[in-house]
Structure 1
Amino acid sequence: MNRIHFDISGIQNSEIKTQLKNALDKVEGISMVNIDAARGSIEIGYNPSTDENSIRSCIENVGCNILNQSNE
């Protein structure tokens, strides 16, 4: 399983956090989503066949901005 970490802005409340988690759960190949609203970060576990661009697009479509990315 690959893991990726994003620092993001736009998680103002639990409703947006829930929307983001639900949206990412629908992306094929994502097996883990950990959102830390206090730190403004998200960690995602996904299959190697999953396209990272689809993960980024999903985050941005919910209304969050990606500030930084690191692969683990």
Structure 2
Amino acid sequence: MNHIRIRVDGIRSDTEKQQIKNALDKFEGVREVAVDPTTRSISVKFNPPSTEQEIVDCIRSTGHDPIS
């Protein structure tokens, strides 16, 4: 199983937290999603066919840009 942790800016509410989780849960292969507004991070455990790039793109589509 693959794991990615992405720091993002601007998770301001439980609604946004749930929006990110729901968007990622739709991907085949995504097994676990944890969104932590306190640390501004999203942890995703996944298997193929999901990829890191698809996950990052999905997070961006919810209006949250990864912090490098």
Q: Is the pair's TM-score, using the shorter chain for normalization, greater than 0.5?
A: yes
1:30-69 to structure 2, matched below 5 A, reads: 30-68=30-68
2:3 maps to 1:19: no
SS state of the match for residue 50, structure 2? coil
Structure 1: runs of 5 or more not aligned: none
**TM-score with structure 2 setting the length:** 0.92
2:8 maps to 1:2: no
Q: Which runs of 4+ in 1 moved over 6 A?
A: none
Kindly provide the CA deviation profile for residues 5-50 of structure 1, in whole angstroms up to 9, marking residues without a partner as x: 0111121111100100000000111000011111100110000432
Q: Which range is displaced more, 46-55 or 56-65?
A: 46-55
**TM-score with structure 1 setting the length:** 0.87
Q: Which has the higher contact order (CA 8 A, sep 6+)?
A: 1
Residue-pair matches, total: 68
Which protein has the bigger strand share? Answer: 1
Structure 2: runs of 5 or more not aligned: none
Q: Name the Cα RMSD after superposition.
A: 1.0
% same residue: 38
